[in-house]
């Protein structure tokens, strides 16, 4: 175990490892995108390698697909799988009702499609992602490049009537150029600070011409697994109302910690 692994990375790892324990043999599983989801793919690969777990992954981005291939996790497309047993993914924020903000990794469109095509969505996160009200993390909105400035103006106009604290909207950049998603779209980041009615905002955003999808995941997440830097893990099931406290032994193999450039 690397001695310099941060408490946040330890929390991400233990949450990922506990979530991967929920996967059963022969499941088809959506594989999320981002730093926490990368730990999940590594933990899943360890189960495939060490236990002979038979699983098929459906990646939510090109970089997750590449990581899964490098680690030996079998993958397929959503079109071939059609329906999934479970999706495991990270989140930028989650509230007490397990509503989410996602899209910090610019993969929100594929992530939402895959998550809604699953029997269950499991979110893995460190404790810092839990909030009483969504909005501190900028809300990503995927838009088509054509007329994006017009779309941005329409979003800004719409926000005047919404229950939000702030209304700044910025185009996400990649150096000197706009960031381009896997679907060749742009991302607008809405710096709202507080979202009073996430359900309403999600519905109104998707009615704006040029908007492809937004990063509010409402009534999609079923379980959240919250990791802590000391190995503690809390699992909350929104459907049953049950909470499970546990601990994950922090003794991963060298293969999990190999830097594969994710």
Q: Is 33 annotated as a binding residue?
A: yes
Q: For residues 140 and 188, is the Cβ–Cβ distance under 8 A?
A: yes
DSSP β-bridge partners for residue 214: 141
**Closest by alpha carbon to 17, among 261, 254, 249, 255?**
249
111 noted as active-site residue: yes
Q: Is 61 annotated as a binding residue?
A: no
Q: Is 168 annotated as a binding residue?
A: no
Q: Is 16 annotated as a binding residue?
A: no
Q: Is 261 annotated as a binding residue?
A: no
Q: Is 10 annotated as a binding residue?
A: no
Residue at token pair 């999934």? 84
Give kind and range of the element (H or E) at residue 8.
helix 7-20
Q: Is 35 annotated as a binding residue?
A: yes
Q: Which of 46, 50, 93, 111 is catalytic?
A: 111
What is the rounded CA–CA span in Å between residue 151 and residue 18?
Answer: 41
Q: Is 52 annotated as a binding residue?
A: no
Q: Is 229 annotated as a binding residue?
A: no
DSSP conformation letters of 9-63: HHHHHHHHHHHHTT--TTEEEEE--SHHHHHHHHHHHHHHHHH---EEEEESSHH
Q: Is 182 annotated as a binding residue?
A: no
Q: Is 193 annotated as a binding residue?
A: no
What is the rounded CA–CA span in Å between residue 262 and residue 252?
Answer: 18
Three-state DSSP class for residue 222: coil
Q: For residues 118 and 84, is the Cβ–Cβ distance under 8 A?
A: yes
Residues labelled as active-site residues: 111
Residues that constitute the known binding site? 33-36, 89-92, 102-105, 129
Residues that constitute the known binding site for substrate? 33-36, 89-92, 102-105, 129
């Amino acid at each position: 175990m690397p001695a310099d692994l941060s408490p946040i990375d330890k929390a991400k790892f233990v949450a990922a490892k506990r979530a991967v324990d929920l996967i059963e043999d022969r499941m088809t599983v959506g594989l999320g995108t981002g730093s926490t989801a990368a730990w999940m793919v590594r933990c899943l690969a360890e189960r495939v390698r060490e236990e002979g777990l038979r699983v098929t992954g459906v990646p939510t981005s090109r970089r997750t697909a590449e990581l899964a291939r490098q680690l030996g996790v079998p993958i397929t497309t959503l079109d071939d799988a059609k329906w999934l047993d479970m999706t495991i993914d990270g989140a930028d924020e989650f509230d007490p009702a397990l509503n989410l903000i996602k899209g910090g990794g610019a993969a929100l469109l594929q992530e939402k499609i895959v998550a809604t095509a699953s029997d269950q969505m499991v979110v893995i996160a460190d404790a810092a992602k839990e909030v009483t009200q969504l909005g501190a993390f900028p809300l990503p909105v995927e838009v088509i490049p054509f007329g994006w400035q017009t779309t941005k103006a329409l979003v800004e106009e719409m926000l005047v009537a919404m229950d939000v604290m702030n209304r700044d909207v910025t185009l996400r950049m990649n150096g000197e150029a706009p960031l381009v998603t896997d679907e060749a779209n742009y991302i607008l980041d809405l710096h709202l600070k507080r979202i009073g009615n996430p359900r309403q905002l999600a519905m109104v955003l998707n009615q704006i011409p040029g908007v492809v999808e937004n990063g509010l995941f409402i009534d999609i997440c079923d379980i959240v697994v919250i990791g802590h830097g000391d190995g503690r893990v809390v699992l909350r099931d929104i459907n049953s109302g049950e909470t499970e406290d546990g601990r994950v032994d922090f003794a991963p193999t060298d293969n999990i910690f190999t830097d594969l450039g994710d």
